[in-house]
Structure formats: structure tokens, C-alpha cells
Amino acid sequence: MLEQKGPFLALPRELRDKIYGCYLIVEGGYVFNPITDRLVAANNKPIDLALVYTCKLVALEMHNLGLKLNTINFSTVFSPEKRSTIGRFQHLRESYAAHELHLLKHAGPCINEDVFSHVEKVYPQFMPVIRIIQGGNIWPFDTINKTWGWVPSVFRRFVSEILQIVSRHPRFDDTMSQAWKRSFPIPNLIRFLSFSQKDLRFPTETLINAMRSTTGLGYFEPSRGVKYRTSATNSAVLFLATLSPGALSSLRKIVLHEDHESTCWPESHAQNLIPVCRNNPDLRVEQRVDL
């Protein structure tokens, strides 16, 4: 048991908690600094935690309290050093999703009971799509609405998951080779599809080079005048992944300031926060989108 000394620690715990709150609460809350990958006060000054180091009992009582009392703010991020990387990654992701869709269009002979069972259980709204493809009609998406009336993120996830199941069919390689022999040759279909199962939210040069060499997708040089940005939501997801379980459970409010246009379908990035919210039901996430 920690020994209490001094007049401050002689105060009731309720009063000490009020003092901690007055000390820790910052006007405007905390702001994520993408340069240092750390939180700072809203006035861009370091967070004052000197009181934490006065004694072990105070440190114990104040543990993660600043995260609990302050709103955590994230904004879109533009990095001149990473501009080209992010721009090329966006092009790769869009091309990759388009090629996944084309693969599924030609996968009719490989659609079996395993596929129907998964779609019926997880994506029943897309059963008509699978029946159309199995029947040999490869153009069920060439309408005004190319995602069968559902939000694009759900449709892209559906395409990726079904391709994983279809790729286990013994005739998959032969079927795709015949369908694509006069158009886009994919060097290795299994390696190509492996990228749909990876975390592709945070681009690196290594990942981009691996995707290009494996998928056969062409090189893209980003426009010089375009500022390719990372979404505020992606910045939050990346930062939260570095926190301990105790720190994550202390969070009470996050505000995502999507103040500029960002890359790689930013409207769907908040899906990656679902596991965090499930583990911390007291957390509230507010997303502000500048139109």
C-alpha cells in the first residue's frame, strides 16, 4: 500500500479528482501531431504532466486520466515527403479493386455451393448477382449504379471475400487464364488475391513495389499539383493501434476533422474503428466532414 504524505494527499479522493480534472483538462482538448506521432495540447504546446511525477500515488490516480477527460482531435494529413507514395497507392488500390471485379465477372464456372452458402449467410442482398454470374452473364454491373444499389465499401468487401472462396475451386486458374488471355495477364492469381486480405490502409514504398511486381498493375506518376492526403480517420486508426489496452479503454471522445479531400475511399475508413468501439462502449466518435 502506498503511503500518503503531505496536505494534498490528505484531502479526500473526491477533491483530489476535481483538482486532477482542473489540472489536466485543456481547452480544445488534445490534438494529434502527425510529424511526431504524438498528442499535444490544442494550443500546440506539450501536454503538462508534471504533477504525475510528484509521487507514485498521484501517478497511479492520474494514470490515463488525461485521455479520459480530454477530447482527442485528428485532422487530415498532408506530407510533401509522402505525397507521391500516397498518390500512387490510391491509383493502385482503385486499379486493384477494378481488376477484382473483372475477375469475379468471369468466375461463373467456379461458383459452387460453398459460394452460395457464404453469400446467403453474409451477403444475402447479392444472391441475384451471384446467380447472374453463374449463368454466364458477365455484365450485371454495367448500369448507372455499379454496386447493385449498396454502398461501395460493402460491395468491394463482398467482391474480395467471394473471390477468396472462388479461388479455391480446382478450375479457377484455367477459367481465369482463358477469360483473360487476350486482355490483362495476371502473373500469379493466388498472389494477386493475397493483397485483398492484407491491411492496405497505410501505404509504404515497400508495399507499393510488392503490389506492382505481384499484380502486374502499371506505374502511375501522381500529378504534381495535387495534394494527396491521409484521412483523419486513418490517422486515428494508426495512432490508436499504438496505445495499450488500458489507454484505449480510457478514451471517451474522439473527433475526426475531415477538413480536406483524402485518398482511398475515406468514406469507408471509419469501419476500422468498429473494433475499438466494441471494446470500449463508453467511447464516442464524432466525424466532421468539410463539404
Render pLDDT for 106-148 as a digit per residue (tens, 0 to 9): 888 899 999 999 999 999 999 988 998 888 766 655 544 577 7
How far, in Å, CA of 106 to CA of 134, rounded? 9
Mean of per-residue pLDDT scores for the chain? 86
pTM: 0.82
The answer, yes or no, to whether residue 4 has pLDDT greater than 70, is no
**Given this model, what pLDDT does residue 215 score?**
74
Parallel, antiparallel or unpaired: strands 253-258 and 72-75:
parallel
Q: What angle do CA 284, 282, 200 make, to 5 degrees?
A: 55
The more confidently predicted of residues 41 and 224 is 41
Mean pLDDT of 81-96: 87
**Given this model, what pLDDT does residue 39 score?**
96
The more confidently predicted of residues 205 and 76 is 76
The answer, yes or no, to whether residue 19 has pLDDT greater than 90, is yes
Beta bridge partners of 256: 74, 287
Alpha-carbon torsion (277, 281, 282, 288), positive or negative: positive
The answer, yes or no, to whether residue 8 has pLDDT greater than 70, is yes
* Among the listed residues 62, 92, 73, the one whose alpha carbon sits nearest the alpha carbon of residue 264: 92
Q: What percent of the chain has pLDDT over 90?
A: 48
The answer, yes or no, to whether residue 65 has pLDDT greater than 50, is yes
**Given this model, what pLDDT does residue 175 score?**
82
Task: Look at phi and psi of residue 57 and say left if phi exceeds 0, alpha if psi is from -120 to 50, else beta.
Answer: alpha
Parallel, antiparallel or unpaired: strands 38-41 and 30-33:
antiparallel
**Given this model, what pLDDT does residue 144 score?**
45
Q: What percent of the chain has pLDDT over 70?
A: 89
